[in-house]
Every structure is written in structure tokens, then in C-alpha cells.
Structure 1
């Protein structure tokens, strides 16, 4: 991948003429997103993210940390032991420049299970990294293996059913093949286009069923204003 998301983050951090990111999915048109949004403070975060940070405890793993705003809030405001990971080298460079003490380029699936955590955070549609519904079990098993006894996984997502048309009987016109929360995502930045990649939005019931099937308890913590929610998974 060209790491355009990471380039935008690093450009913003280093004042290198950052521009808006343009994102597009298989069910939505192109939409501009200011890179500054990824650098928001705790007070600027949505309630779901604030709730997750309030509940974080002990040693924390921030998966897909991006610009590192969640990690920074936990490290600086709550003095928690935070490990931040992202597959983007540029994003990790930006996190280092922002002062995150323990941040590295890593894929969650490659982490050594000898290192376990009390809290694992997956925020800003944390289920996205699963890619597809079929891959969800693999990720849940990995996350489960990284939890300390009594640990928790705090994860958010959205039910995308609202994106589909309804007929007069109230039934939704969802695709016959696959799961309706499976999207493909494209990112553009400074005239370049990233390779299209899969991105998964899970409705709460589907997440709960997947969690139970993989030996995890699933609890709905908070619902947002627009079909989004925060959930807690535990062993």
C-alpha cells in the first residue's frame, strides 16, 4: 500500500502542506475529511470514544492508533502504560513526534501472545480491520489471546443498515451475497489513490454472535446518535 493515510498524518504533524483526505466506499460517494480530525483532543472526541478512554485500565494496547490521539490522552492525562500499534510507518513516525513513548509498526495478528494487556482498544470503527465477516473469528481469537485475566476489549462500530433503501413494507434492499457491512474502501491524498481495501462495519448483534462463538462475553456499553455503538468483550 502507498500509506496515504499515514502520509496525511505525518504531513499534518510536520506542517508539510497537509490537504484533506478523500475517502470513498462501495456504498457511498467520495467525502472529504480534514486530517486535523485525527488530531482531536479528548474534549473534541465523540462520547463513545470518551467513554472507552474512561473505562481503559491497566496496561493498554491501542490497535490501529493512527495519529495517536487516544494513546496520548491515556498516557498523558491518566498515566496509563500504553502500547500503540499501526501498520502505517508514517503514522507511527507522527506518533513518535507527538511524544507517544511506546509506539511501533505492527499488525495485530503478528503480536507475540507472551505480551498481554488489561485493555485492548479498537476505536474509530474498530471492527474495520477485520476486513470481512469471514475473517472476524481469526481476529477475535488473536485479541482474546492477548488479554490478561480480567482484561477487556473495547471496540466500536456502526450498523450500516440505514445506508440501504427500504421498501413500503419496511424491508431493506441489502445485497443478496455477503454481509451488508462488508465494504471496500478507497483513500485519495494529494492526487494519489490508495489500493482499494476491505473494511468491515458490524452491527451489534452480529458482533455479539461472533464474540460468543469465539468464547468471549459481549456487552453493549453505549449507543451513539447515528447507529454507532461501543461494546466490551471479555473472556
Structure 2
């Protein structure tokens, strides 16, 4: 794994001339993403992310923390105890540089279940790390095992139905051989290309059904401006 996302984050943090990240998916053309966006302050965040941070309480786990902006807001502005994890070694280095106290290179599925949290955050399309619809149960069971009794999982995603064409009767032309939110994602940075990896967008009803099937309550907290939403899962 070339860790181009993490390399871009670390370059930006250490003032090594960073370039825009170029991202593309199996259903969309290449698109530029300024690395500075990953370093946004609370006031610069979308309302779904702001709402999630407002709802965060107790001992917090930030899954896929990236540049650490969510964790830093909770650590520095809310004085919450935050543990942040990411599979990117470079991103974790950048988080250390930014003053994040408890941040580790770790995959969610490798986290010790004896550690429990009051709030687990999965933001910036938090369902993405599930990869495929088939793997969703596996991840939800892991998240469930990490929750304290009155804990909550705050997760956001988008319904990608709008990306597909509609016929005259309003029916969408979605793939017949799988769930339409299952994409493959490719990252380009400074002339290098990351290996393509699976990335999952879940519509709210599908997430709710999966949560219930895995013994979790699911509540729609807030809807965004463009098919996106924030959900809360709890025991």
C-alpha cells in the first residue's frame, strides 16, 4: 500500500509542497480534492460533522481519523478523552505533529474488544471502511463489541441513487449484479496511483436494516443537503 492519502496529509502538515489529491471511483470521473480540506476547523466542517461532534460524549473512538481534525476539536475544544486510529502511518504521524495525544496506526477489526467507548465516530462517509455490503455485518458486530452500555456510534454516509440515470417512469438504472453503493476507489497523488480499493456508500434504510439485524438501534439524526445523512446506532 502506497498510502498516498497519508503522504498528502503529512506533506501538507510538514510544509512539504503538497498537491491536490485526485480521486476517482467506478461510477465517477477523476476529481480534485484539496488536501487543506482534511485540515478544516470545526467552523469549516459540514453541518453533519458538526452535529456529530456536538453529540460526542465520554470516552471517544475516532475511526479512520485522517488528519485528525475531528479528534482535535473534541480533545482541544470539548476536553474529551479521544482515541484516534487510522491504517495510514503517515496520517498518524501528521496527527502527532498536530498535537493529537492518543492516535495509533491500527485497523478497526484489530482493536482489543476489552476497551470500551461511549462514542465511536465514523465520519466522512464512515460506512466506506466496510468495503462491501457483505462485510457490513462483520464491522457492525465489531463496533457493537466496543460500545459501553449507553454508548453510541455516530456514522455518516450518502445515498448514491442520484448518480444513476432515471427512466421516464422514475425508475433508476442501477446494477443488477450487486448493491449500487458498492464502489471501487482510486487515489492519485504527485504522479503516483494507489491500488484500487472497495468503498461502500449506504443509503439510510439499508444501514438501518443492517443495524437491526445486528442487534443495534438505528436513528436518523440529520440529513444533509445532498442525499447525505448522519445516523446514531446504539445498544
Cα distance in structure 2, aligned partners of 1:60 and 1:96 = 17
Distance in 2 between residues matched to 1:113 and 1:131, nearest whole Å? 21
Q: 3-state SS of the aligned residue for 2:177?
A: coil
Match of 2:220 in 1: 220
Q: Distance in 2 between matches of 1:41 and 1:20?
A: 19
Structure 2 CA distance for aligned equivalents of residues 99 and 177 of structure 1: 46
TM-score in terms of structure 2 length: 1.00
Per the alignment, residue 87 of structure 1 pairs with: 87
> Is 1:69 matched with 2:69?
yes
| C-alpha displacement of 1:193 | 0.1
1:134 matched to 2:159: no
Q: Cα RMSD (Å) of the superposition?
A: 0.2
Matched, 1:125 2:119: no
CA distance in 2, matches of 1:58, 1:176: 43
Name the counterpart of 2:144. Answer: 144
Once the two structures are superposed, what CA deviation does each residue of 1:46-74 show, in whole Å capped at 9, x if it has no partner?
00000000000000000000000000000
Question: Secondary structure of the equivalent of 1:168?
Answer: coil
Task: After the TM superposition, list the runs of 4 or more consecutive aligned residues in structure 1 that deviate by more than 6 angstroms.
Answer: none
Return the alpha-carbon distance in structure 2 between the equivalents of residues 106 and 148 of structure 1.
Answer: 20
Deviation of 1:146 after TM superposition, in Å, equals: 0.2
Give 5+ residue unaligned stretches, structure 1: none
Distance in 2, Cα, partners of 1:135 & 1:149: 24
Aligned to 1:160: 160
Secondary structure (helix, strand or coil) at the match of 1:120 reads: strand
1:107 Cα shift?
Answer: 0.2
Q: How big is each residue's C-alpha offset from its partner over 1:189-228, in whole Å with a ceiling of 9 and x where there is no partner?
A: 0000000000000000000000000000000000000000
1:210 paired to 2:205: no
Distance (Å, rounded) in 2 between the aligned partners of 1:164 and 1:106: 35
Q: Distance in 1 between matches of 2:171 and 2:187?
A: 32
Q: Provide the C-alpha distance between the structure 2 equivalents of 1:100 and 1:176, rounded to a whole number of angstroms.
A: 44
Shift of 1:28: 0.1
For residues 38-49 of structure 1, the aligned pairs below 5 Å read: 38-49=38-49
State the 1:164 CA deviation.
0.1
Cα deviation, residue 96, structure 1: 0.3
Corresponding position of 1:186? 186
Q: How far has the Cα of 1:163 moved from its partner?
A: 0.1
